[in-house]
């Protein structure tokens, strides 16, 4: 009886921890780069789908980004307008990428975009 109670209590604690992690927003599925956070946080949007994005991630890939000079800044009337993908991808970048305490480096062969699953 005591063993069953301990096991049940342990399972309850583990489930509670998982629910807390989900509620705190530790990870949110990405709409870009086939939900690959490493590739998205280090490379940004897929250049095949958006060859001229209005922002790019900057090292150390924990939330820093650079607005591209050919895009219209919020207070300037000239330049390329931000697309819905530019806005949404930047929001996802700011939500997901700062959660990495320290950015890792690519340890596979070749470039991360050409991994065996042909992720882009």
pLDDT in tens, 3-58: 544 444 444 444 444 444 444 555 668 888 888 888 888 889 988 889 999 999 99
Structural contact between residues 28 and 93, judged by C-beta atoms closer than 8 angstroms: no
Give the pLDDT band of residue 113 (cuts 50, 70, 90): low
Between the CA of residue 93 and those of 14, 66, 73, 117, what are the distances in Å? 29, 12, 18, 22
pTM: 0.63
Give the separation between CA 39 and CA 35, rounded to whole angstroms: 9
How high is the pLDDT of residue 84?
93
pLDDT for 35? 85
Question: In which element (H, E) is residue 87 found?
Answer: helix 84-96
Q: What is the pLDDT of residue 110?
A: 55
Q: Looking at the predicted structure, is the pLDDT value of residue 112 above 60?
A: no
First to last CA, the chain: 53
């Amino acid at each position: 009886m005591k063993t069953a109670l301990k096991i049940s209590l342990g399972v309850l604690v583990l489930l509670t921890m998982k629910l807390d992690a989900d509620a705190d927003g530790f990870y949110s599925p990405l709409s870009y780069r086939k939900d690959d956070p490493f590739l998205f946080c280090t490379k940004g949007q897929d250049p095949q789908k958006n060859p001229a994005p209005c922002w790019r991630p900057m090292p150390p890939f924990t939330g820093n980004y650079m607005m591209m000079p050919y895009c219209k800044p919020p207070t300037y009337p000239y330049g390329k307008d931000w697309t819905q993908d530019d806005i949404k991808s930047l929001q996802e970048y700011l939500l997901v990428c700062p959660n990495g305490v320290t950015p890792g480096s690519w340890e596979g062969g070749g470039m991360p975009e050409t991994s065996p699953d042909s992720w882009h």
